[in-house]
Chains A and B, each alone.
Chain A
Amino acid sequence: MNKIGLIIKREYLRRVSKKSFLLLTFFTPFLFAALVFVPLWLSTIKGDDAKQVAIIDATGKYAPLFDDTEEYTFIIEKGSSLEEYRQNPDKEIFAFLNITGDLLQNPAAATLYSQKQIPMGLKNTIDKTLSEYLKDEKLASYNIDNLKQIIEESKIDFNIKTIKWDEDGSEKSTSAEVASILGMILTFIIYMFIIMYGAMVMQGVMEEKTNRIIEVMISSVKPFDLMMGKIIGIGFVGLTQVFLWGILTTVLVSGSLFFFGGSASPEEMMTAQVAAQGMGDMATGSSDISIQVQEIINSINFKMIGFCFVFYFIGGYLLYAALFAAIGSALEQQEDTQQFMTPIMLLMAFSLYAGIYSMNNPDGPLAFWCSMIPFTSPIVMMVRLPFDIPAWELALSFALLFATSLFIVWFSAKIYRVGILMYGKKPSIKEMLKWVQYK
């Protein structure tokens, strides 16, 4: 087996067999699933007993309006006054609604009392019930026929349907919301992985340097092979993790949906996601909308996106990992890394924000230029991918990214080669650039 293969194998196996890797890989999807489903599950749990709310209504006209809900039972109190309750508290009753006069004339005449903090749910129920009644009463006071009906009819809910024409003229329903969510998820994954695995490369390089094993290694392997072996090996670890997360998440989400009685398909999951995000009025969940979402999801070219994701991942990772390797090779102390890491982290953060802002206008100049510049393109392009960008843009962006990556790898290898054998004082950037010219 050749050397670089041996190094890749060792770097890969050593990392994937670590407990921390296994824990992170297998528990993160559970964590995500839990984040999505635990609130859903909790919301389905009913409160133990309905709480009693006593209504002390001096007018007598509002009290009958309140219908019992799952959480609250409303009791119309006729005999005792609020003062009597205040002196002899009745533990059974959770809250008192005291209405002293006509609310249309004096909105302050209703007050809610309780010994505990009043939940938003109760306040909302009461507000809603009273305001609906008052609105009707007010409308009635205008003495216009059918006013209520007119107002009802004038309420228009509008959500434009977006259709994308294919080259053959056939129509496809598209959804900016679904595309944006997908783009955002991909952006975050790439951002997170470049930082996580880039830092891992740096740690690995520094470990070999501070362990002093480097001199033994370098006497049998070329520095370039050692650096690339490490970068590639760790890159495979990253791809493995993404792959496993993808599978696990799908399995878990489908499983959970099945558990909640829904049919288990990833499309349903997307529907649920969209609904949960409250984007558009799809949350109503009518069968009609379900079909629409299905259509939209089918309109997204997952194969193309998956392919591009893997290649941008590789290109972006290569670029940043090589930089991290060069930095790691020049330093001995963990504390010194901060100074060199900061510019890279800023660049990454800029890319992420550019990606987020590009969402509003995925074909705008910010999105375009940032998806061409190699340092930001792996992150920003992810936002644009679900929006079906022109092939030439994709090709150009790819070419630029890979050409730059190869240049950075070459450049970093030059620094690495000298840096790993330099001990003593922390080098300046100027010195590091001088190393590139060493024979």
Chain B
Amino acid sequence: MNFLETEDVVKQYANHLALNKVSIQVPEGKVFGLLGPNGAGKTTLIRIINRITAPDSGLVRFNGREFRPEDIYQIGYLPEERGLYKKMKVGEQAIYLAQLKGLSYQEARTRLTRWFEKFDIMPWWNKKLEELSKGMQQKIQFIITIIHEPKLLIFDEPFSGFDPVNAELLKKEILELKDAGHTIIFSTHNMSSVEEICDNIALINRSQVVLSGNVTEVKSRFRTNNFTIRFHTGSGKLQPIPELFSLLAEKDLAGTSEVRIHKEPGITNSDLLSALAGQTEIISFTEEIPSMNDIFINTVSGTNTTQA
């Protein structure tokens, strides 16, 4: 079931169309990657989902029904541009923001104490925010985002400003939240984290969705049918078989050869492998699956050239 859906959402600013009939489907309990180059319209879409701005036309469906104002209590949002009150004490500030998200003072206090203890940051409670390092502030902001246990979490570039150790910690937390049944929208430029975390993606470029779907499915759509094969140099030489495969490149390494081949359409991997096995002694056989990074760059530059 889709927890959140947008249908043909359009947003027009003075002389710039920010979103052009954008439809996305975010399945419940999954991590959804919202990808796209800078200025593509991601932030506008996130703001519409947060009810910060209203769409000019189109629908947003939340939990299977039409979006309602009180649904914002079910959303936790970590914006790309982080910010908190610099002069306010950390604990006081967190309680205030949690109260604004609908928690009672007592409830906010109990939950915050639990999270602060979990992250081992209890001594920061009475410090002013400006006394903390940037990484520490990010942790506080993360806690504030999830404190009211919203069903939908939106993280905009969550890893920026974190060192690798804390980024790992955060990744673990995000996956734990997913396991606990939260639906997560994850907006980022960091494609390796998309592959690790996301179940589904939508790629927005120039105000439109240009690619969407399940990560594995999207990747298989971008299969090139190229393979890299390594074999012992002495065991024979690879000859192309026109109806099965063609050779792309050959490289001799110390004692082994590496050959890139292109498989003809309609041929199964097993057929290819048996044909190859007959010719030489194979060490490894790898399909060249494009990374999300390649898919991102190809799709974005592809749509840019066709539209230009």
Q: Are B100 and A220 in contact (CB under 8 A)?
A: yes
Q: Are B83 and A421 in contact (CB under 8 A)?
A: no
Q: Are A220 and B97 in contact (CB under 8 A)?
A: yes
* Cβ-based interface call for B290 (8 A): no
Q: Which residues of B contact A (CB under 8 A)?
A: 14, 47, 50-54, 56, 72-73, 75, 77, 79, 81-86, 88, 96-97, 99-102, 141, 144-145
* Cβ-based interface call for A426 (8 A): no
Q: Are A220 and B72 in contact (CB under 8 A)?
A: yes
Q: How far is the CA of A212 from the CA of B77 in the complex (A)?
A: 13
Q: Which chain A residues lie closer than 8 Å to B97 at the CB level?
A: 216-217, 220
**Restricting to A78-106, which residues have a CB under 8 Å from any CB of B?**
none
Q: Are B47 and A3 in contact (CB under 8 A)?
A: no
Q: Which chain A residues lie closer than 8 Å to B99 at the CB level?
A: 1, 6
Q: Are A213 and B144 in contact (CB under 8 A)?
A: no
Contact-residue size bin, chain A (C-beta under 8 Å from the other chain):
20 to 34
- Name the one of B72, B75, B79, B85 contacting A215, with C-beta atoms under 8 angstroms: B79
Q: How far is the CA of A214 from the CA of B81 in the complex (A)?
A: 10
Q: Are B100 and A3 in contact (CB under 8 A)?
A: yes
Which A residue sits closest to B100, measured CB to CB? A220
Q: Are B79 and A212 in contact (CB under 8 A)?
A: yes
Q: List 10 A-B contacts (CB under 8 A).
A: A1-B99, A213-B84, A215-B77, A215-B83, A216-B77, A216-B144, A216-B145, A218-B52, A219-B72, A219-B79
Which A residue sits closest to B11, measured CB to CB? A439
Q: Are A221 and B100 in contact (CB under 8 A)?
A: yes
Starting from the known contacts A219-B51, A421-B53, A431-B14, 20 additional A-B residue pairs (CB-CB under 8 Å) come to A1-B99, A6-B99, A7-B100, A211-B83, A211-B85, A211-B86, A212-B79, A215-B77, A215-B79, A216-B79, A216-B84, A216-B141, A216-B145, A219-B50, A220-B72, A220-B97, A220-B101, A221-B100, A421-B52, A434-B14
A416 CB to nearest chain B CB (Å): 13
Q: Are A213 and B50 in contact (CB under 8 A)?
A: no
Q: Which of B73, B96, B100 has the most CB of A within 10 A?
A: B100
A212 CB to nearest chain B CB (Å): 3
Which A residue sits closest to B81, measured CB to CB? A212
Which B residue sits closest to A223, measured CB to CB? B52
* 10 pairs of A and B residues whose beta carbons are closest in the complex: A212-B83, A213-B83, A215-B79, A211-B83, A212-B81, A219-B77, A219-B50, A220-B100, A220-B101, A218-B52
Q: How far is the CA of A434 from the CA of B99 in the complex (A)?
A: 34
* Cβ-based interface call for A10 (8 A): yes
Which B residue sits closest to A10, measured CB to CB? B96
Instruction: Give chain B's interface secondary structure class.
Output: loop
Q: Which chain B residues lie closer than 8 Å to A439 at the CB level?
A: 54, 56
Q: How far is the CA of A133 from the CA of B96 in the complex (A)?
A: 81
Q: Are B96 and A6 in contact (CB under 8 A)?
A: yes
Q: How far is the CA of A221 from the CA of B85 in the complex (A)?
A: 16
Q: How far is the CA of A431 from the CA of B14 in the complex (A)?
A: 9
B191 CB to nearest chain A CB (Å): 25
Q: Which chain B residues lie closer than 8 Å to A219 at the CB level?
A: 50-52, 72, 75, 77, 79
**Restricting to A193-229, which residues have a CB under 8 Å from any CB of B?**
211-221
Q: Which chain A residues lie closer than 8 Å to B14 at the CB level?
A: 431, 434
Which B residue sits closest to A439, measured CB to CB? B54
Which A residue sits closest to B145, measured CB to CB? A216
Which B residue sits closest to A210, measured CB to CB? B83
Which A residue sits closest to B80, measured CB to CB? A215
Q: How far is the CA of A221 from the CA of B72 in the complex (A)?
A: 9
* Cβ-based interface call for A14 (8 A): yes
**Restricting to A364-394, which residues have a CB under 8 Å from any CB of B?**
none
Which B residue sits closest to A226, measured CB to CB? B100
Q: Which chain A residues lie closer than 8 Å to B72 at the CB level?
A: 219-220
Q: How far is the CA of A10 from the CA of B52 in the complex (A)?
A: 22
A319 CB to nearest chain B CB (Å): 27
Q: Which of A1, A214, A218, A221 has the most CB of B within 10 A?
A: A218
B247 CB to nearest chain A CB (Å): 53
The 0/1 profile, CB within 8 Å of B marked 1, for residues 424-439 of chain A is 0000000100100001
Q: How far is the CA of A1 from the CA of B103 in the complex (A)?
A: 10
Evaluate whether A6 and B100 lie within 8 angstroms (CB atoms) in the complex, with A219-B72, A220-B72 already known.
yes
Q: Are B96 and A211 in contact (CB under 8 A)?
A: no
Q: How far is the CA of A198 from the CA of B81 in the complex (A)?
A: 28
Q: Are A215 and B96 in contact (CB under 8 A)?
A: no
Q: Are B100 and A215 in contact (CB under 8 A)?
A: no
- Name the one of A211, A212, A215 contacting B52, with C-beta atoms under 8 angstroms: A215
Q: How far is the CA of A336 from the CA of B75 in the complex (A)?
A: 35
Q: Which chain A residues lie closer than 8 Å to B88 at the CB level?
A: 14
Q: Which of B56, B79, B145 has the most CB of A within 10 A?
A: B79
Evaluate whether A215 and B101 lie within 8 angstroms (CB atoms) in the complex, with A6-B96, A14-B88, A421-B47 already known.
no
Q: Which chain B residues lie closer than 8 Å to A421 at the CB level?
A: 47, 52-53
Which A residue sits closest to B77, measured CB to CB? A219
Q: How far is the CA of A200 from the CA of B100 in the complex (A)?
A: 23
